[in-house]
Chains A and B, each alone.
Chain A
Amino acid sequence: GAVVSQHPSWVICKSGTSVKIECRSLDFQATTMFWYRQFPKQSLMLMATSNEGSKATYEQGVEKDKFLINHASLTLSTLTVTSAHPEDSSFYICSAKGAINSPLHFGNGTRLTVT
């Protein structure tokens, strides 16, 4: 089945530093990838839609300068949390889809803790 790899699984960083999270589709080409954020015991909130070769589309309320998304190839999208603060601590999950009507497949998520 389709596999999406997300790295790292968890990261602890100091306030003010930047953190990059990678999302790779391992056995299919993903023209579209999505980044979600999940607070404890909450649902998944879509942050942005990442399209290969073009700028990401951010959901309302998501700071594009803080959450930089790059989708440089059909198998890789990255999310960089810039100048991280403790309130950015969360579980970030990426997902990818191949064919236009295929279901989303999710990465294992990245637990970010900002101290």
Chain B
Amino acid sequence: AQKVTQAQTEISVVEKEDVTLDCVYETRDTTYYLFWYKQPPSGELVFLIRRNSFDEQNEISGRYSWNFQKSTSSFNFTITASQVVDSAVYFCALSEEHTGGSYIPTFGRGTSLIVHP
């Protein structure tokens, strides 16, 4: 069974602070995908990143960066110089290959990030 733990329920920061959202996962598969999605107050889910289990390279995209460490089963997400527009709920998700090759993600409970001006 796969499981995703986002221990931080809510994080509150002041604009321009750096913030790291934690994600720890459990899986027995050697092949899997990890995702981060953003859900702003409007409700839609915005895809941020996908990482497969064979690629442990960290990734940076603008103010966003991701740290994937298989040794600790973690896939943490850092926002540098946070902005008010970053306020949202962020979901980490894990998917393994199911029958037929459809990777169905399991979501963590989400971390609500509030960035104050």
Chain A positions near chain B (C-beta within 8 angstroms):
32, 34, 41-44, 46, 49, 91, 93, 95, 97, 100-101, 103-109, 111
CB within 8 Å: A-B pair count: 49
Residues from chain A with a CB closer than 8 A to the CB of B35 are 103-104
A108 touches B103 (CB 8 A): no
Contact of B44 among A32, A97, A109 (CB under 8 A): A109
Residues of A near B101 (CB, < 8 A) are: 100-101
Interface flags for B90-115 (1: CB within 8 Å of A; 0: not) read 01000000000111111111101000
Q: For the side of the interface on B, what is the size category? A: 20 to 34
A46 and chain B: residue at smallest CB distance: B104
Q: What residues of B have a CB within 8 angstroms of the CB of A108 in the complex?
A: 42-44
Q: How far is the CA of A107 from the CA of B47 in the complex (A)?
A: 11
Distance (whole angstroms) from the CB of B98 to the closest CB of chain A: 9
- Chain A residues with Cβ below 8 Å from B109 are 42-43
CB distance from B2 to the nearest CB of A (A): 12
Partner of A49, one of B45, B50, B102, B110: B102
Docked complex Cα distance between A15 and B62 (Å): 47
Residues of B within 8 A of A42 (CB): 109-110
11 contacts between A and B (CB under 8 A): A43-B91, A44-B45, A44-B91, A49-B102, A49-B104, A91-B43, A93-B45, A103-B47, A104-B35, A106-B44, A106-B45
